[in-house]
Amino acid sequence: MKIQKTLIAVFLLFLAAAGLNAKEVALYHTSDIHGYYFAHEDKQKNKIGGFAALETLLEQETLPFILVDSGDFSSGNKEANFSNGRYSINLLNKAGKSKKNAKHQGYSAITVGNHDSDFGAKKLAKMLNKFKGKVLAANLEAKGVKFKPYKVFNINDVKIGIIGFAMTGPGAVPNVKTVPLTGQELDQITETMLKKGAQTIIILAHDSVSDARKPSVLLDIIKEAPLTRQNLSLVLGGHAHNLKKSKPLPEDILFAESGSMLEGTTKVVFDFDDETGKLKNRKATYIKLDLNTYPENEEIKQYLNIIEDKSLTEVFAKVGEFIPKYPAKDSADRSCPLAKMIADEMFLYPKGEQVDFAMFQLPGVRRDLNAGNLTGRDIAELLPYTEYVSTVDISGAKILQAAQDSLKYDETHGSYSMFSYSKNVNIKFSRKDGAFKIVSFTVDGKEIDPTKTYRVAAISHIPDGYYEGAPWKLENANKKIYDDNPSGILLFNIVEKLEGNTAEEKNLITPKDIRIKEVKA
């Protein structure tokens, strides 16, 4: 019996010693919330996401933690747009009401995404100045806002340095601009944080290492910053709306991106040696905010009920089948059915001029659409941004090259086009050794003439070359912008034209014709 007690005592002492030599803290990360404050259905029609479910998860946390966000938290949903992002900031300030939160309540840090400036520089400043945490951006200037390039956070006597890296783009406005950041400047920031006692370095960025539309700007800067690489343990990304939690960067730096629409959050646990203060390990886990596991917090739910636009509950039509944002891997057509409908509407949209064809980018459709009732919120969420239809002159040679460069491949979708085209377009392409080739591109049954100029309808930032529009970038384009209505009106137009007089009679049926087909090389 004495031997057993002795062994137990030794074991407990061992556990205590192990605990003394390790100190764990946690970080929760979100990205590209885009005003999705509320729970919504996933593909299996389970309720997921939203700030009320996030709060329940945070209430259960036993480790000291902080909350951070990678930008595009404001623009993108009806309530966010209506409030010029004010509701987004209110919710970021309300989240994480817990003694375990290093701030006790609210996000500790955010950076700025390209859509956060959608409301203009003055409203951006007003919005950000109400945030109770730190707005971090080492590479951004905006009138009326004082950004901090970094902040060293103390989490239960552990010091973690966070650098902000922002982005502008089609949502950018005058008086909001990114400024160049060199690897040397990044190292200078890191050196300053190390002198302030930072035990590890994190970059909080609106940038992705896995964006099919545009290579990472940040990744190139990190490669030129040896001191930062040596001390950098984690890059928290956004913008691509991807879900990555373990993609390694140079020297095994962890990368985590938390998807979009607040469907989940990434939890990163840092393990520090209690004696030396050195980081021993960090592990990232994506947590889906399933309401079956994380029932909505009542206090946050009550606030959401106050700010919710109840008019969006109106049903406009029926949806007979699941409509994916991206084509399924086994789909005969390598474009998206909903984007095809939008391209068809864009073809008819310009007033007073005739276009040869229209195209719409797949990332412009923000989510999948489940079968069932098509509500005002569905329509508002599918095309949420203040973007406009434009018409532009493009040479046949440029069209062929850009269409080819817009073809992508990934394991989830296989080969697909980043653009869907109006029904008078038919494309055939092949893929060999990872390279794409346009085999045929016809408009109204005739092959594209490389020497001819075509008038094309597209969302206005595409010919400017932003993101997925990079292959289509035109200098001094003869562009006309139809700014009387944002692009979201296209879906309302489509629904209005459906046969039937009532929501019960109207059925949203997507085109079944094959417009983009992969053929053997």
Matching CATH topology for 21-307 and 311-518? no
Task: Of 118-127, 323-332, 418-427, give the range with the top mean pLDDT.
Answer: 418-427
Task: Say whether pLDDT at 431 is over 90.
Answer: yes
- Residue 152 is predicted with a pLDDT of 98
Q: In the CATH hierarchy, which fold is given to the domain comprising 21-307? A: Purple Acid Phosphatase; chain A, domain 2 (3.60.21)
- Residue 439 is predicted with a pLDDT of 97
Query: How do residues 150-177 score in pLDDT, each as one tens digit?
Result: 999 999 999 999 999 998 765 556 788 8
The conformation of residue 310, written as its DSSP 8-state character, comes to G
pTM of the model: 0.85
One-letter amino acid identity for 450? Answer: P
- Residue 251 is predicted with a pLDDT of 76
Lowest mean pLDDT among 180-189, 385-394, 436-445: 385-394
- Residue 467 is predicted with a pLDDT of 80
Query: How do residues 268-313 score in pLDDT, each as one tens digit?
Result: 999 999 899 999 999 999 999 999 999 999 999 999 999 999 999 9
Question: Given CA atoms 477, 450, 215, 415 in this order, what sign does their dihedral have?
Answer: positive
Collect all residues with Cβ–Cβ distance below 8 Å to 359 and sequence separation of at least 6.
343, 346, 419, 420, 421, 422, 425, 456, 457, 458, 462
Closest CA to 84 of 116, 131, 132: 116
- Residue 459 is predicted with a pLDDT of 95
Count of beta carbons in the 10 Å neighbourhood of residue 374: 25
Query: How do residues 374-399 score in pLDDT, each as one tens digit?
Result: 999 999 889 887 789 999 999 999 99
User: Tokens representing 427?
Assistant: 């494309």
Task: Of 171-180, 421-430, 470-479, give the range with the top mean pLDDT.
Answer: 421-430
Contact 132, 143 (CB under 8 A): no
Tell how strand 435-443 and strand 425-432 pair up: antiparallel
Task: Say whether pLDDT at 400 is over 60.
Answer: yes
Count of beta carbons in the 10 Å neighbourhood of residue 459: 27
Phi-psi group of 518: left, alpha or beta (phi > 0 → left; psi -120 to 50 → alpha; rest → beta): beta
The domain segmentation of the chain, as residue ranges, is 21-307, 311-518
- Residue 146 is predicted with a pLDDT of 85
- Residue 16 is predicted with a pLDDT of 46
Question: What is the Cα–Cα distance from 90 to 113, expressed in whole angstroms?
Answer: 18
Level-2 CATH architecture, domain 311-518: Alpha-Beta Complex (3.90)
Contact 88, 113 (CB under 8 A): no
Query: How do residues 410-420 score in pLDDT, each as one tens digit?
Result: 888 899 999 99
Task: Say whether pLDDT at 7 is over 60.
Answer: no
Query: How do residues 364-377 score in pLDDT, each as one tens digit?
Result: 998 899 999 999 99
Count of beta carbons in the 10 Å neighbourhood of residue 289: 24
**Is the model more confident about 517 or about 145?**
517
- Residue 230 is predicted with a pLDDT of 95
Residue 6: pLDDT band (50, 70, 90) is low
